[in-house]
Structure 1
Amino acid sequence: MKYSAIYLAIFIERSNRFIARCRLLNTGEEIITHVKNTGRSKELLLPNALVAVNHQPSDKRKTAYDLIAVKKGEMWINIDSQIPNALAAEGILSGKIKLPGLKGSINYLKREYTYERSKFDIYFETDQQEKGFVEVKGMTLENYEIGAFPDAPTLRGLKHVEELRLAQTMEYHCYVLFVVQFPTIQTATIHREMQPALYEAVEKAKADGVQILAYNCDVDQESISIKEAVPFDLNQKFIDPNQ
C-alpha cells in the first residue's frame, strides 16, 4: 500500500481524537490534519515528533491532510486504522498470510461480512467447503520490541472476540489477526492491564480453537506492506510506555 502525496511534518499537538496540528517541514506552514486512528497513541504523538501526512484535498473534507505515520526512534510506525483490513485481505488472497488449520485453498473472500450480531472484517470459503472468519486488529503500541493491543479499551474488539468464539463452535474456522504496523518486534501480546476483559476473552477463545495470529509490516513514510509472521504470546509481559 503506497500513499500518493506524502509530506513530512513536525507534530505540534492533538486537539482531539480526530484532529492534530502539524508544521510542514518544506514550507514551515502550520496545517490541520485528520488523525487516522482513534487510539490514544500517547507514546507516538509527542511534541516535535516527525510525522508523515498525506495530502488529500477535497471540497467534502474539513482537512486537506491525513496523519498516517510517526517516526519513533529509527522506526516508522503507521497509524492508519483503515490499512490493516486491506493488507489482511490482500495478504490472505496472495498467500503471504497463512491461515493454519485449513485443508483447502481459499477461493472466495468477502470483506465486512455480517454474521449474527457482528460484522466481521473478513469471511472466506475454501475449495474444500470450509468457511471461516478473520477479525483484523491493527497494532501500533510498542515498547522494548514487544507489540501490544489495545492502547485503549475497545468494547467493539471484545464483542468480536466473544462472537468469534461462538462461531468457532458452529464449525467455522475463526482467527484473530493482528497486523503489526511497524517492522521491529519480537513478540505480540494483549495489553492485559489496559483491558483485562479482552485478555480473558482472547484466552477463552484460544482455548476453544480460535487461532491468534500476528504479522508485522515493512513501513516507511510513504508505504506499508506485510512482512512476515511474528510470535503471539498471551503471557508475554508488557510494560506500557505511557505509565
Structure 2
Amino acid sequence: MEYSNIQLAYFIERPNRFIAHCRLVETGKTVVVHVKNTGRGKEVLLPEALVALDYVPSPKRKTDYDLIAVKKGDRWINIDSQIPNDLAAEGLLQKKIVLPKLMGEIIYLKREYRYGKSKFDMYFETDQGEKGFVEVKGLTLENQGIGAFPDAPTLRGKKHVLELIEATAAGYHSYLLFIVQFSKIKVATIHQAMQPEFFQAVAQAKQDGVTILAYNCEVDESTIELLGEVPFDLTQPFIDPNL
C-alpha cells in the first residue's frame, strides 16, 4: 500500500481527536490536517515529532492533508485506521495471512458483512464449504517491543468480539486479527488496564474458540506492507507509556 503524495511535517498540537496542526518541513507553513485515527496516540504525537502527511486536496474536504504516519525513534508507525482492513483483505486473498483451522482455500471474500446487529469486517467462504468471519483491528500502541490494543476504550470493538463468540457457536470460523502498524514487535497483547471489559471479552472469545492472530508491517513515511505473523499472548503484561 502506497500513499500518492506524501509531505513531511512537524507535529505541533492536536486540538481534538480529528484535527491536528503541523508545520511543513519544506516551507515552514502551518497546516490543519485530518488525523486518520481516533485513538489517543499521546506517546507518539509529541511536539516536533516528524509526521507524514498525505496531500489530498478536494473542495469537498475541510482539510487538504491526512496525517498517516509518525516517526518514533528510528522507525515509522502508521496510524491510518482505514489501512488495516485493506491490508487484511489483500493478505487473505494473496495467502500472506494464513487462517488456522481451515481445511480449504478462500474462494470468496466480502467486506463489511452484516451479521446479527452489526457488521464484521470480512466474511469468507472456502472451496471446502467452510464459512467464517474476520474482524480486523489496527494496533499502533507500543512500549518496549510489546504492542497492545486498544489505546482508548472501544465499545464497538467489545461488541464485535462478543458477536464473534456468537458466530463461533453458530458454526462459523471466527478470527480476531490485529494488524500491527509497525515492524519491531516481540509480542502483541490486550491493554487490560485501558479497558478491562474488552480484555475479558477477548479472553472469553479465545476460550470459546475464536482464533486470535497478529501480523506486523514494514512501514516508512509513504508505504505500509505486511511482513508476517507475530506472537499474540493474552497474559503478556503491558506498561502504558502514557501513564
TM range (shorter): over 0.9
Residue identity in the other structure for 1:225: E
C-alpha separation between the residues in 1 aligned to 2:224 and 2:15? 26
1:68-119 deviation digits (Å, cap 9, x = unpaired): 0000001100000000000000000000000000001100000000001120
> Is 1:162–2:162 an aligned residue pair?
yes
Q: Which amino acid aligns with 1:6?
A: I
- The answer for the alignment partner of 1:45 in structure 2 is 45
User: What is the aligned partner in structure 2 of residue 211 from structure 1?
Assistant: 211
Map of 1:228 onto structure 2: 228
The answer for the alignment partner of 1:65 in structure 2 is 65
Instruction: Note the 1:139-154 alignment, pairs <5 A.
Output: 139-154=139-154
Separation in structure 1 between the aligned mates of residue 197 and residue 9 of structure 2, nearest angstrom: 38
Equivalent AA in structure 1 for residue 180 of structure 2: V
Q: Write the letter of the residue equivalent to 1:53.
A: L
After superposition, what is the alpha-carbon deviation per residue over 1:122-164, rounded to whole angstroms, capped at 9, x for unaligned? 0000011100000000000000000000000000000000000
Cα distance in 2 for partners of 1:147, 1:78 equals: 13
Cα distance between partner residues in 2 of 1:75 and 1:140: 13
- In the alignment, which residue of structure 2 is the partner of 1:3? 3
Partner of residue 17, structure 2: 17
The letter of the residue matching 1:32 is V
Could you tell me which residue of structure 2 aligns to residue 100 of structure 1? Answer: 100
Partner of 1:77 in structure 2?
A: 77
In structure 2, C-alpha distance between the alignment counterparts of 1:226 and 1:123, rounded to whole Å: 20
What is the percent sequence identity of the aligned residues? 68
Quick one: which amino acid aligns to residue 41 of structure 2?
Answer: S
SS in 2 for 1:16: coil
Report Cα offsets for 1:45-79 as digits up to 9, x if no partner: 10000000000000000000000000000110000
Q: After the TM superposition, which parts of structure 1 deviate over 3 Å for at least 4 consecutive aligned residues?
A: none
Q: Within 1, Cα distance between the matches of 2:204 and 2:19? A: 37
Aligned to 2:116: 116
Give the CA deviation at 1:15.
1.2
Task: Please tell me the root mean square deviation across aligned C-alpha atoms, in Å.
Answer: 0.4
Partners of 1:43 and 1:65 lie apart in 2 by 22
TM-score by length of 2: 1.00
Residue by residue over 1:21-67, the C-alpha shift from the partner in whole angstroms, topping out at 9 and shown as x without a partner, is 00000111110000000000000110000000000000000000000
Question: In 2, Cα distance between the equivalents of 1:6 and 1:71?
Answer: 14
